[in-house]
Amino acid sequence: MTATGANAAVDWLVSAAPDPGACRRGWERNPLGVALLEAGRCWDVLIVEGRLGRPALDVLARGRDRPGPVLSDFRDARTGFFVPAGTVAHWLGTKIRGAGRGTWIVVPYPGRATGGVRWLVPPDGTGTLTDPVALELALHAAVAARDLGE
């Protein structure tokens, strides 16, 4: 990710904070390279098991539209897809957790390595989010492929 791209991504991410300037300053000084950002303002995050999330991301990546930002924890146990705000309130799915209004998530600084969470698809600063319908179809395709032993 270029410095300009990272700056645009940071600008977009901190826009979710109640005080974007304070968030940016704290984030840049944080030795762990992470920040707590409030979900539900600009985006929600749908969190699935990594063994389902990674194949679903592969399906999305083959699609026409670029997926929005996607996070993974350090062991790839969970994958988090950034989706439009309000999605979590209407999402029904087994073994899918949601971070929406009133929740906070740990987010790594774009373009920096951290020991905990990392970007599988970093934000590009444009506000691109994963389409919930496309994500649902990708999750179904990933489950079907797993069940068929592909």
- Residue 89 has what pLDDT? 93
pLDDT, averaged in runs of 10, over the chain (150 residues): 72 92 89 90 95 94 91 91 96 89 92 84 94 95 78
- Residue 4 has what pLDDT? 61
- Residue 76 has what pLDDT? 86
126: CB partners within 8 A, 6+ apart: 8, 12
Q: Contact 82/100 with Cβ under 8 angstroms? A: no
At position 2, the amino acid (one-letter code) is T
Cα separation values, 10 from 38, 59, 77, 87, Å: 14, 27, 25, 23
Q: Which residue has the tokens 């904070």?
A: 17
- Residue 33 has what pLDDT? 86
- Residue 111 has what pLDDT? 81
Cα separation values, 112 from 13, 50, 144, Å: 14, 21, 35
